[in-house]
Chains A and B, each alone.
Chain A
């Protein structure tokens, strides 16, 4: 059964730090990988989608990479800001479902 682990579970950093969030799958047979942001009590907002033929995606200060051979993805956040404080979730899809990790709770303080 596919399981998704996100490390670290929680992270508290000062503003301006560069961050790396990790996501790993027990079964590397995933097609696509998506990173989401969730604010407390709110829905999920898609940040980046890495399709099966791609290895990374970038949007502003965010960069996500996917190594399918090892079943690992990383989300890199450059020059973190207090507004980046949220829970970050990764999710991979196989044939018929999206499987989520339990998330990394990030707090960026001024």
Chain B
């Protein structure tokens, strides 16, 4: 089944404790991206990747890192999480950005205390 998977689905952590949210897709997609969703602000892009070893900042990259060492995986790293990073995070992938359908993962709900 074609899908985007994220782990963990739920995470409660404390300020400053490094964490990684994994994202994997099985559709051989080149384009992958991370979003956060907050009430009243909608979905905002954090980082995106056009292909392996190619990543770029989205609208809200501060406090986040990503890597794209292989095509299927695009982990999101929070080196020192803070309470303002409490949010619902989504990973997405597609064949490309333009003219291609975007597939979303189920989301990761992160709480930083």
Enumerate chain A interface residues (CB-CB to B < 8 A).
Answer: 31-32, 34, 36, 41-46, 49, 51-52, 89, 91, 93, 96-98, 100-103
Contacts and interface: CB of A to CB of B under 8 A. Distances in A.
B105 A43 contact: yes
Contacts, number: 60
A97 B97 contact: yes
Nearest to A34: B102
Given A42-B106, A42-B107, A43-B107, A31 B45 contact: no
B48 interface: yes
B90 A44 contact: yes
Contacts of A49: 99-101
29 contacts: A31-B98, A31-B99, A32-B98, A34-B101, A36-B104, A42-B106, A43-B90, A43-B106, A43-B107, A44-B102, A46-B102, A46-B104, A49-B100, A51-B99, A52-B99, A91-B102, A93-B97, A93-B98, A96-B48, A96-B56, A97-B48, A97-B59, A98-B33, A98-B92, A98-B102, A100-B42, A100-B44, A102-B40, A102-B42
A100 B97 contact: no
Interface residues of B, number: 26
Contacts of B106: 42-43
Given A43-B104, A89-B43, A100-B35, 7 more contacts: A36-B104, A41-B109, A43-B90, A43-B105, A100-B42, A100-B44, A103-B42
B61 interface: no
Contacts of A98: 33, 45, 92, 97, 102
B8 to A, nearest CB: 14
